[in-house]
Chains A and B, each alone.
Chain A
Amino acid sequence: MTLLQVRGVTKEFVTRGEGTMARKSVFTAVDDVSFEVELGETLAIVGESGSGKSTTARIAARLLEPTAGTVVFDGQDVTRARGKELASFRNNVQVVFQDPFSSLNPRYTVERIITAPLTYQGITPKGGRRAFTQELMERVGLNPDHCRRYPAQFSGGQAQRIGIARALAVNPKLVICDEAVSALDVSIQAQVLELLMRLQRESGFSYVFIAHDLAVVRQISQRVAVMNRGRIVEVGTRDQVFGDPQDEYTKTLLAAVPRINPEWDARRRGKRAS
């Protein structure tokens, strides 16, 4: 089932030129982008800085309105949704951001943060907020006894787990991860990636996974869209895009990824296996 359809989306930003008398100019951050996300799959959008991947994610999450094009979720055109319609969209689509500390209110307890989407939706959880929070904390690998703590009392990896728990509070059909593991140390990153994949297996929702790190994308996605200068230059299954890239830019991008010396790596693994 097609869960999300982004059709011909364009986003222009008006920028001021240099000097006081300069004319306004228009910068096209996203240029006629279309893609679909099936229920239960992970679509990764990769690209370098300025490629428009985050803007695309924000439009898909209805955090930004596109200049042109439509966003269709679950058969409903939500491009200009307002009020109740938008609230019901937010009940199904949640976002996990890159920097957990700037996306968690430092003066709120974990319980208040995690139940915030419920407050917005006007839902009272069965069994009360405390029990609800603790259950979710457990699900994302946090100690439920810490539900009255504040974000600053957690490490970066733990704080990202709080962000993930908040996204899951409304039991969404789509979770948009905007560079959700980019700020984490590599060992923590591996754990959070595993958590994201486990949660998807348990609940069957979809991810739109925005990232600049191709190696990370390869771990988590089923399909990959490559963006460059506001356009999707290539989209395909993970193995197509990584194994047999068609677009020149995709090839350049893949070739530039630093690799651990494969000979050394193979020797290490040989030793470990024996």
Chain B
Amino acid sequence: MSGELFVVDNLTVTLPTSRGPVDVVKNVSFTVGRDETVGIVGESGSGKSMTALAVLGLLPRGARTSGSVRLDGAELLGRSDRDLRSVRGNAISMVFQDPLSSLNPYYTVGLQIEEMYRTHRGGTRRAARRVAIEALERVHIPDAARRVDHYPHQFSGGMRQRVMIAMALCCSPSLLIADEPTTALDVTVQAQILELLGELQSTTGTGMMFITHDLAVISSIAQRVLVMQAGDPVEYGTAEQVFSDPRHEYTRMLLDAVPRIDDEVLS
């Protein structure tokens, strides 16, 4: 197979506003290889989440896109909702910032994973339940066979995010989009989730698009980095290049603004 697993080529997203159409993502291009993590970093309003939503066709009503988004060579932009539904959660899945609002409080986590699995893969409920338990074990939820029957509120924030990751990975996607997956978590829990994502990636080979505002998190997980500002891709390169030799003024400013834990103190 030629080329990369996932290619975003010249993606532009335009949203209608009361003051006319606004380009919230402008000519963004990047690629994600198998087993690779690409970090998209930017401040609020930089267009990093819009980029992720565009990939899955989840943009708000009235949004327009141009350019190309290809997974394994197949174009995703402009596909019908029905078509995309078979992609979402299957070939490409997503983990969001707030697991509590992404999980249905009325269903056990097991049922939610089973639903996801059976929608894409079919099979019996019994088989799906086995998959759910295995998925929970894979993300190191202790006592998975019992926890599968628990409701979201019975899990802590970090455990809930593990459930989300278990669900996202149950159909063995080729690409995982993680949108600020650790932002709502405490720092000790964040470290565990980052470790888990790295571990799962090395066993499954899933490509990952990791969106965050946190440069230190990006530095610890991504091989390549795209820096965005107000919809513009300002810098794109290997993590090493972007962090050690940033070309763009904005990237330098951003790096200078990050408070350090074991380094000189401001003023």
CB within 8 Å of B: which residues of A? Answer: 48-49, 156, 185-190, 193-194, 197, 212-216, 218-219, 242, 252-261, 263-265, 267-268, 271-272
Contact stretch, chosen from B58-66, B129-137, B214-222:
B214-222
Q: Which of the residues A187, A219, A256 comes within 8 Å of B254, measured between beta carbons?
A: A187
| Interface membership of B246, Cβ < 8 A | yes
A215 lies within 8 A of B261 (CB): yes
For the complex, give the distance between the alpha carbons of A213 and B259 in Å. 9
Which chain B positions have C-beta within 8 A of A193?
259, 266
| Interface class of chain A by DSSP | helix
- Residues on B with C-beta less than 8 A from A194 are 266-267
Whether B214 contacts A187 by the Cβ 8 Å rule is no
Complex contact B186–A49 (CB within 8 A): yes
**Which chain A residues lie closer than 8 Å to B259 at the CB level?**
189-190, 193, 213, 215-216, 218-219
- A218: chain B residues within 8 A (beta carbon): 259-261, 265
Q: With a CB–CB cut-off of 8 A, which chain B residues contact A242?
A: 261-262
Task: Give the residues in chain B near A252, CB-CB below 8 Å.
Answer: 188
Residues of B within 8 A of A197 (CB): 266-267
Q: Are B186 and A187 in contact (CB under 8 A)?
A: no
Query: What chain B residues lie within 8 Å of A261 (beta carbons)?
Result: 219-220, 239-240, 243
Interface residues of B (CB under 8 A from A): 43-44, 157, 186-191, 194, 213-217, 219-220, 239-240, 243-246, 252-263, 265-267
Answer whether A219 and B265 are a contact pair too, CB < 8 Å, given A187-B43, A258-B216, A264-B219.
yes
In the complex formed, the residue of B with least CB distance to A190 is B257
| Contact with A214, one of B187, B220, B258, B267 (Cβ below 8 angstroms) | B187
- The answer to whether A265 and B188 have CB atoms under 8 Å apart is no
> In the complex, which residue of chain A has the Cβ closest to the Cβ of B265?
A219
- Chain B residues, CB < 8 A from A190: 256-257, 259, 266
Query: Please, which residues of chain B bring their CB within 8 A of the CB of A258?
Result: 187, 190-191, 194, 214, 216-217, 219-220
